[in-house]
């Protein structure tokens, strides 16, 4: 089973939902208390209660994390004064549950349920620390998406593709959507990042499907 974890403000692209046949969309509104069990000492046995039943980590082939954090706006069904508290509790719950499935794209880190690669300031800092070129005020010229070992679209400039791979390695990201600018004196430079799930097209979805299949072997 493929699970896509998303929120009201971070909907995945339609090709992603259509292309990964049978994927189950889990949002903060669909998470229910009954059936949830997340013991840090026994993560392989973790389960998540939803409106459709219990999701056992052992039954999940892959999780695509498309939600940085649960916010009060994701919980319109919760009474106003309680939304912030419930949002924080659900964020903590998902951060723990997302450690259990064998394949999670991208695994959570402190402060983000979908890994690094969304905060522009963090990305630029990481790139500078790794010695990667960062664009000054140049306008982005191209957008490339890394999915596992593939940089899409196919046929991208090899230098640009290598820069994306290096940035993804620095961020420990399995999937990453990067905007690049080419400067006359330095060549390709990191300009910014985008939520990879919003940029996902048919080609990216196919690459993700292959990545999930390979990871399930």
**Span 97-130, pLDDT tens digits:** 999 888 999 999 999 999 998 888 899 999 999 9
Does 1 score more than 90 pLDDT?
no
Q: Give the pLDDT score at 217.
A: 37
- Over residues 11-70, the pLDDT tens digits come to 776 778 788 877 888 889 888 778 888 888 898 889 998 888 888 888 899 999 999 999
CB distance 145 to 152 below 8 Å: yes
pLDDT value for 155: 92
Looking at residue 10, its pLDDT comes to 63
What count of Cα atoms within 13 Å lies in the side-chain half-sphere of residue 199?
18
Residue 82: phi and psi, rounded to 5, are -100, -10
Model pLDDT, residue 8? 72
**3-state DSSP call for residue 35?**
coil
| Buried/exposed code over 102-111 (b: 16+ C-beta within 10 A; e: otherwise) | ebbbbbbbee
- Chain-wide mean pLDDT for the chain? 89
CB atoms within 10 A of CB 211: 19
pLDDT-based confidence at 9, cuts 50/70/90? low
- What pLDDT is recorded for position 117? 87
């Amino acid at each position: 089973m493929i699970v896509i974890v998303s929120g009201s403000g971070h909907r995945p692209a339609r090709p992603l939902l259509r292309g990964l046949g049978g994927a189950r969309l889990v949002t903060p509104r669909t998470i229910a208390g009954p059936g949830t069990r997340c013991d840090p000492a026994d993560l392989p046995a973790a389960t998540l209660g939803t409106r459709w039943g219990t999701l056992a980590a052992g039954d999940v082939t892959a999780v695509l994390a498309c939600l940085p954090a649960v916010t009060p706006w994701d919980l319109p069904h919760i009474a106003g004064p309680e939304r912030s508290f419930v949002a924080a509790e659900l964020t903590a719950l998902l951060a723990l549950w997302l450690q259990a499935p064998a394949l999670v794209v991208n695994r959570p880190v402190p402060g983000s349920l979908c890994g690094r690669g969304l905060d522009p300031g963090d990305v630029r800092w990481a790139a500078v620390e790794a010695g990667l070129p960062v664009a000054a005020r140049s306008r982005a010229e191209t957008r490339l998406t890394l999915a596992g070992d593939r940089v899409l679209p196919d046929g991208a400039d090899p230098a640009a593709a290598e820069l994306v791979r290096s940035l993804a390695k620095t961020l420990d990201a399995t999937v990453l959507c990067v905007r690049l600018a080419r400067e006359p004196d330095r060549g390709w430079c990191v300009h910014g990042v985008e939520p990879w799930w919003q940029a996902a097209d048919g080609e990216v979805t196919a690459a993700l499907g292959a990545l999930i299949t390979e990871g399930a072997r």
